[in-house]
Amino acid sequence: MVDTTPRRRTELLELHPGLAAYARTALRLHPRAGSPTVGESSVGGPLAWPANEPWPTCADDHESDDDLESDDDLEGDEVGPGLAPPSRPTRTVPAEPVVMASVLQLYRRDLPAGPTPLPEWMFPDGADLLQVLWCPNPHPDTYEPRVRLYWRTASEPGDLLDGNPSLNLFTRDADVDFTPRPCVLHPEVVQEYPPVSVDDPDSGEFEDTLIGILPERLERSCAGWTVSGEPRGLDDQHDYTDHAGAPGWKLGGWVPAVGFLPPPAEHCFCGAPTFLLLGATSEALGGPWLPSGDPGFGWGDPEEWDDNRPTGVWGGRGGQLWLLGCTDDPAHPILTYTE
Ligand SMILES: [Zn+2]
Ligand SMILES: [Zn+2]
């Protein structure tokens, strides 16, 4: 069983027992490049898809050549550490219908047993299989993918599709990539705590950057906490933010405060609270959440700049993507945020 909960977090909780009321369960996926089967949980793997059910397609508008010709402002932007600016690829609008990509398949049976209950939204109404797909092609209005969720009962699969259909992709930009590479998963249940201001509580800016989820006094105290009182800002292993939320691909937990504009919606259009369906960010190569001690769980080539991105997904300019769902009705649109 994988256990990456930071060992030094005990100290944080002892000093701030009020934090316990704000804990949220998250499921770290720990994706690693592999060859998952249809009967396994995966990112970008073959889905257990009923043969008699149409594969999802995207009917929205897609970026056209005309859009791209006037899109000069993207030329030469930074696209990621170590990458030269991309030359502008030639793209065409894909043939219809536009096939959605397999993003995530999660069997409840693949999750670790433990005392921590999973969020209710993860497997509602007796479902034990969650499937997430999105349209991997660019849309003219946003960087963000169109997302669909499906819940099933794995014990009633019937005849299954023989492999995912081929994607009809554009030639990709390097600045977004929503085509997940096949990964096997090593799910782990963790507890997360809310984001707080990243400013020093003694600084003049602190009052203006309060997040406001925790009571102000608690937020102030947490924001000033470091491991064993070590100075703030030394590296990425010492302060509250480093210990509160896990990096990488995960379901549930808290959305971190990373300078979203606009900030993630706390409510769906229907008024129900939103929840963090999926955080798709870079995996930890350091810091307090680093996986260790599990055979075969290592990384690939540490010389590769994107070794912490086994899924290959790069959402938005900073490569980070968050999907928010509606707690009242999972059929309501999934909200997407990139950073
Ligand atoms: Zn689309
Ligand atoms: Zn809703």
99 falls in which pLDDT band (50, 70, 90)? Answer: very high
Query: pLDDT band at 83, cuts 50/70/90?
Result: very low
Whole-number Å distance, alpha carbon 327 to ligand 2 midpoint, is 7
Ligand nearest to the CA of 97: 1
- List strands edge to edge, sheet with 274-280: 188-192, 24-28, 250-252, 274-280, 321-326, 335-338
Name the residues around ion ligand 2, CB cutoff 5 A.
Answer: 268, 270, 272, 326, 328-329, 332
Ligand 1 mean position, distance from CA 166 (Å): 15
Residue type at position 42: S
Of the candidates 299, 261, 297, 266, the one whose C-alpha atom is nearest the C-alpha of residue 282 is 299
- Give distance in angstroms: CA of 144 to centre of ligand 1: 10
More confident residue, 114 or 269: 269
What's the token pair of residue 276? Answer: 């963090």
Q: Which ligand is nearest to the CA of 62?
A: 1
- Closest residue by Cα to residue 252 from 12, 25, 22: 25
Examine the pLDDT at 54 and tell me if it is beyond 60: yes
Contacts of 125 (CB under 8 A, 6+ apart): 151
Based on its alpha-carbon atoms, the radius of gyration of the chain, rounded to whole angstroms, reads 21
The alpha carbon of 274 and the centre of ligand 2 are apart by a number of angstroms equal to 8
Residue 240 alpha carbon to ligand 2 centre in Å: 32
Strands 250-252 and 188-192: unpaired
pLDDT more than 70, % of the chain: 82
Does residue 94 surpass a pLDDT of 90?
Answer: no
Comparing 117 with 48, the larger pLDDT belongs to 48
Instruction: State in Å: Cα 133 to ligand 2 middle.
Output: 19
Question: Which ligand has its closest atom nearest to the C-alpha of 140?
Answer: 1
Structure-model confidence comparison of residues 315 and 258, the more confident one? 315
Report the separation in Å between the CA atom of 90 and the middle of ligand 1, taken as the mean of its atom positions: 18
Question: How much distance in Å is there from the Cα of 102 to the middle of ligand 1?
Answer: 13
The answer to whether the pTM exceeds 0.85 is: yes
Q: Mind listing the pLDDT tens digit for each residue in 4-42? A: 899 889 999 999 999 999 999 999 999 988 999 999 999
Q: Which ligand is nearest to the CA of 98?
A: 1
pLDDT in tens, 203-219: 888 889 899 999 999 99
In the reported structure, the alpha carbon of residue 334 is separated from the centroid of ligand 2 by a whole-number distance in angstroms of 9
Whole-number pLDDT of residue 145: 84
Q: Quick one: tokens of 96?
A: 């219809």
Q: What pLDDT score does 36 carry?
A: 96
Contact by Cβ (8 Å): 149, 334: yes
For residue range 152-165, what is the model confidence (pLDDT) as tens digits? 998 877 899 999 99
**Residue 267 CA to ligand 2 centre (angstroms):** 8
Sequence-ordered list of residues with C-beta below 8 angstroms from that of 170, at least 6 positions apart, any chain: 62, 63, 89, 91, 92, 93, 94, 137, 138
pLDDT at 73 over 60: no
* pLDDT tens digit sequence for 298-335: 655 555 556 788 898 988 777 889 999 998 888 899 99
CA 94 / ligand 1 centre spacing (Å):
10
How far is ligand 1, taken at its centre, from the CA of residue 274, in Å? 23
- Ligand nearest 137 Cα, by number? 1
